[in-house]
Amino acid sequence: MPIPLKIETVLRGRYSIDRIIGQGGAGCIYLANDLRLEGRQCALKEVEHDRSLPEELLQEARDQFMREATVLARLDHPNLPKVSDFFTIKNREYLVMDYVPGKDLRTLMVEARQQNEFLEEDLVLNWASQLADALSYLHSQDPPILHRDIKPSNLKVTPSGLLKLVDFGLVKVAAPGEVTITIVQGQGTAIYTPLEQYGGDNAHTDVRSDVYSFAATLYHLLTNTAPPVARERFLTEGLLAAPTQINPKVSFRSEQAILWGLAMHPDDRPESIEMFEDALLGSAPLDKRPRNSMVRARTSSVNYYAAALQELFGSTTERTLWALAGGAMLLSLLLTILF
């Protein structure tokens, strides 16, 4: 992990470091004072690439950062912080964004849990509507932009009640005809990450991966309970409890939409954020899934999950053991469905 910058360090003759407000494996997020615009504070996201990489790959990573930072700087949506600048200093890249005051949703959830309470469903659904608007905007870009790290701690509520999706750490630009590219290498936070995302940058992810993370976030907010990790759900049938088993006040509509969004196979999830939002907040009939989707998806999922398991487990022996265990479970599921 890179050594953090010292307080009052000035970058590019403009941004004076005030304090660290976030930290990760690739660098820190700093609160900084803009010396050019008096009174303005901003968030500086720092990325330091792995120094052990060959120079050719390092240059590719730098070029990639600049390409994607350019894309992010063009975004303009009320539920996204504005990217105002980006630059490189030695081996570190910096993304300058609006600083968003207020508490993140994880903090609000923890505060409710400490009072032995659940967050009000109406409040959570209001946040969900705002998040859906932001994700629909990202997915509507050409090419689509995937967030890949939706979680309560990446969602902040301003004093006026405006929700902001604040961290672009794992954003991917879905480049047609080629492997998607990522600003910061990573897989997201396990609790909210679908199984197909465990393959890292070489995995096939699309808008349905964000649907899964969205649903997992809502599950956590409404139940004060983290959903089981996807790879554990794959190996242990029935691990995911219905939200009403934990919080009986959750509405039937919210529960059904969330469970749909948390389907293990992408083909079993809503195909877009708009479809998920309509299931969650709309008035249309809840079940829009094809009646044979469960059988179809599970029948075709052996190869899909075998590929994912190859990424999850390192050695050939481990992969063989886990594949046998997973295959036995899938066979059991298919026999249950067919007979």
CATH number of the domain located at residue range(s) 10-98 in this protein: 3.30.200.20
CATH superfamily of 103-289: Transferase(Phosphotransferase) domain 1 (1.10.510.10)
- Residue pair 1/20 in contact (Cβ under 8 Å)? The answer is no
| pLDDT reported for residue 336 | 55
Q: What is the pLDDT of residue 201?
A: 53
Mean pLDDT of 37-64: 87
Cβ neighbours of 335 (radius 10 Å): 9
Highest mean pLDDT among 174-183, 222-231, 276-285, 328-337: 222-231
Written as six digits, the tokens of 173 are 């630009």
Looking at residue 68, its amino acid is: E
- B/e letters for 74-105, b = 16+ CB within 10 Å, e = fewer, are ebeeebbbebebbbeeeebbbbbbbbbebebb
Give the mean model confidence (pLDDT) for residues 161-169. Answer: 84
User: Each residue of 132-142: pLDDT tens digit?
Assistant: 999 999 999 98
Domain ranges of the chain: 10-98, 103-289, 299-339
Instruction: Please report how the helices 207-223 and 252-261 are oriented relative to each other, as an axis angle in degrees rounded to 10.
Output: 140
Contact 46, 28 (CB under 8 A): yes
* Tokens 């594949």 sit on residue: 323
Indicate the range of 25-34, 56-65, 72-81 predicted with least confidence. Answer: 56-65
Contact between 262 and 210 under an 8 Å Cβ cutoff? The reply is no
Contact (CB, 8 A) for 224 and 113: yes
Q: What is the pLDDT of residues 205-234, one digit of tens each?
A: 899 999 999 999 999 999 999 999 999 999
By the 8 A CB rule, do 213 and 149 touch?
A: yes
Between 121-130, 180-189, 286-295, the lowest mean confidence (pLDDT) is in 180-189
Distant-in-sequence, close-in-space partners of 3: CB < 8 Å, separation ≥ 6: none
Considering only residues 339 and 15, tell me which one the structure prediction assigns the higher pLDDT. 15
What pLDDT does residue 188 have?
57
- % pLDDT > 70, the chain: 75
CA dihedral 224, 106, 254, 170 (to 10 degrees): -130
Region 144-153: mean pLDDT is: 90
pLDDT at 230: 92
pLDDT of residue 121: 98
Query: Is the separation of the CB atoms in 287 and 132 below 8 Å?
Result: no
Structure token pair of residue 248: 């009986």
Q: How far is CA 137 from CA 67, 99, 141, 228, 272, in A?
A: 19, 20, 7, 29, 12
Q: Average pLDDT in the 24-36 region?
A: 89
Output the pLDDT for position 203.
55
Q: Cα(258)–Cα(278) distance, rounded to whole angstroms?
A: 12
* Residue among 81, 75, 231 at smallest CA distance from 156: 81
Indicate if the pLDDT at residue 294 is higher than 50: no
Name the DSSP letter for residue 172. E
Asked whether the beta carbons of 194 and 266 are under 8 A apart, the reply is: yes
Interval 311-326 mean pLDDT? 53
Please list, in sequence order, all residues whose beta carbon lies within 8 angstroms of the beta carbon of residue 170, skipping any fewer than 6 positions away. 147, 148, 149, 182, 183, 184, 186, 187, 188
Is residue 330 over pLDDT 70?
no
Using a cut of 0.85, tell me whether the model's pTM lies above it: no
**What does pLDDT average to over the chain?**
82
User: Distance (Å, rounded) from C-alpha 63 to C-alpha 265?
Assistant: 33
223 is written with which tokens?
Answer: 């139940």
For residue 72, the model assigns a pLDDT of 85
